[in-house]
A and B are shown apart, each in its own frame.
Chain A
Amino acid sequence: MNDILLKNINKQNSTDIETYLKDGGYKPLEKALKEYTPKEVIDIVQKSGLRGRGGAGFPTGKKWEFAAADKNTPRYLLCNADEGEPGTYKDRPIIEKDPHQLIEGIIISGYAIGAAACYIYIRGEYVYGADVLQKAIAQAYKKGFLGKKILGKKFDFDLYVHKGAGAYVCGEETALIESLEGKRGQSRIKPPFPVNVGVWNKPTVINNVETLANVSHIIKNGPDWFKSMGPEKCPGPKIYSISGHVNKPGNYELIMGTSLKDLIYKYAGGIKDGKKLKAVIPGGASTPVLKPEHIEVNMDYESVGAVGSMLGSGAIMVMDETVCMVGVTRRLLKFFAHESCGKCSPCREGTHWLVQILDRIVNNEGKTEDIDLMLDICDNMRGKTFCPLGDGAINPVLSTIKHFRDEYLIHIEEKRCPVNYPHSEYCL
């Protein structure tokens, strides 16, 4: 556990470049630049099977290949550090405690795709993290790992930190691009895809912090090493963020495909206060809720998909028996309504309408037809929005109606909260 991506975070002076260099840091960069062509680096990452850790799970090498094949220059690399999916805090330790691991991964990736520069788009609230990155970047420039003619090679590459200002949707890649360009962070329609028409209309690769942190390890140890870990279709280490009603919440770096049961009971110490498990959200707020009967599932993209949810960012939110699932759904939908960028109507109108209905159900003023009405609204949002925020927003509604329909019915028909606890406390 915690032996690849998080191995440095508890070291003294872990953010200092000297600490990182002492442990063989920036050797993989040297190896990549001196032994491999950019194309070879892309091939190695393709062969490793690395897939994006931000939630979508797109093959990283493939994305790089698309951008590198576009002759329009300059190309850009964007590091998505806009960690905002509720329940997710896996990138924070990398940014705050081991910035050079990220920076090295960025430089190697920039070399592979032939990028002129990279912008780390970090959420505005991570003030401390942005500061750590700025200092680490300055150190990397001083050592000649950034700037002109890096390590004596014909490779110039700059790295900047750009702060967001509080908008969840900017974690979506086209909204992130808009925001970086100085606009309201509203999603663009795809195609064209950012690999061809990205920031400033140039070919752009957008990779998550955790994805990029893997790159130096793949160069150092080879693609076969990486591929040997976990499931064939999505190998490698994965940082799972566990929160909610568990004894030991925290980040656990394990092999991709570790079972949800082990994560909750073996690593996170089981449910708090000896209570019973009621529900789990496996991959952040926009992934469908699972029931206790699903917890044998292996936490990788394919396996979680097979039980009707998504791995997402690997942010596991655990709920015990005291929780009203209608209240949980309302809480999550309020979030999505707040964060909807307002550009397309199914999401803008749908999220607020769902909140209105959930409000009246939680307040025991719901109508019998409200469940069908919500399903209808969800159907009119699904696949009809520019970006995945709309699709994500309907997941809590659809999955709780599927798995916890009785709780909705009790609120609507019996005009009470289904859990035996004082209403106001537990309907969130």
Chain B
Amino acid sequence: MEDTNIEKKGYAFSKEGMNILKEMMKDYPSSDALLLPALYIAQEEFGHLDSGALQYVADVLKVPRSKVFGVATYYTMYKTKPTGKHLVQVCTNLSCSLLGADHILKYLENKLGIKVGETTHDKKFTLITVECLGSCGTAPMMQVNDTYYENLTEEGIDRILEGLK
């Protein structure tokens, strides 16, 4: 059955993205293994993974859309909704919490004027909490997009956010 919510047009990997995927096909005995890498490419190129993006990945890999949807919604690093330019991810697991992750989070909420899960009006920042990122010896920490920021202090956060504007 045709899903009327799916926007079919406008979804196509760049030549470069398609080449990366084609190269990777040689690395695996089954092309099914390309689903996670393909979703990363889609997220990189389309910004986030809406139903059209998921359908496109399903078409490219010739796997059912249900499977693509299942995988994309299972893993925390795939974004099915749009986020701000900078995704601020604060670890609140035990080691970070023991050293003030709670305080760091409140400071960020006040500074950005948003609550956890929200995006600033200018679409620059989205604030979320995440589970342990393997920075427990340098807690508290946050990851902004791909970059780790460790041993966080209020002044440190001021500097980091300033650099991201």
Contact = CB atoms under 8 A, between A and B. Distances in A.
Interface in A95-137: 123-128
A165 B78 contact: yes
Contacts of A160: 27
Interface residues of B, number: 41
B77 interface: yes
B116 interface: no
B136 A86 contact: yes
A166 B75 contact: yes
A335 B137 CA distance: 19
A168 interface: yes
Interface residues of A, number: 54
Interface stretch (A10-18, A145-153, A174-182, A362-370): A174-182
Contact of B136 (A165, A179, A249, A328): A249
Interface stretch (A221-229, A240-248, A407-415): A240-248
Contacts of B67: 183
A84 B30 contact: no
A167 B75 contact: yes
Interface in B129-149: 130-139, 143, 146, 148
Contact of A328 (B78, B94, B134, B135): B94
A245 B97 CA distance: 11
Q: Which has the most chain A C-beta neighbours within 10 Å: B27, B92, B98, B138?
A: B98
Interface in B66-80: 67, 70-71, 74-78
Given A87-B94, A328-B94, A200 B36 contact: no
Contact of B77 (A166, A183, A243, A317): A166
Given A89-B137, A317-B136, A166 B95 contact: no
Given A182-B32, A184-B70, A124 B95 contact: no
A388 to B, nearest CB: 17
A163 B40 contact: yes
Contacts of A200: 29-30
Given A323-B98, A331-B97, A332-B94, A84 B33 contact: no
A241 B137 contact: yes
B137 A249 contact: yes
A335 B131 contact: yes
Contacts of B97: 331, 428
A44 interface: no
Interface string A216-244: 00000000000000000000000001111
A251 interface: yes
A125 B32 CA distance: 22
B71 A184 contact: yes
A64 B74 CA distance: 32
A86 B77 contact: no
Contacts of B98: 243-245, 317, 319, 323, 428
A61 interface: no
B105 interface: no
B34 interface: yes
Interface in B101-154: 102, 130-139, 143, 146, 148
A189 B131 CA distance: 26
A32 interface: no
Interface string A195-210: 0000010000000000
B39 interface: yes
A185 B77 CA distance: 13
25 contacts: A125-B134, A125-B143, A158-B27, A162-B36, A165-B40, A166-B76, A168-B131, A179-B36, A181-B30, A181-B32, A182-B30, A182-B34, A182-B63, A183-B35, A200-B30, A242-B137, A243-B136, A244-B98, A249-B136, A250-B137, A251-B137, A285-B132, A335-B131, A339-B131, A428-B102
Q: Which 7 A-B pairs give the minimum distances between C-beta atoms?
A: A166-B76, A165-B75, A243-B136, A182-B35, A166-B77, A243-B95, A86-B132
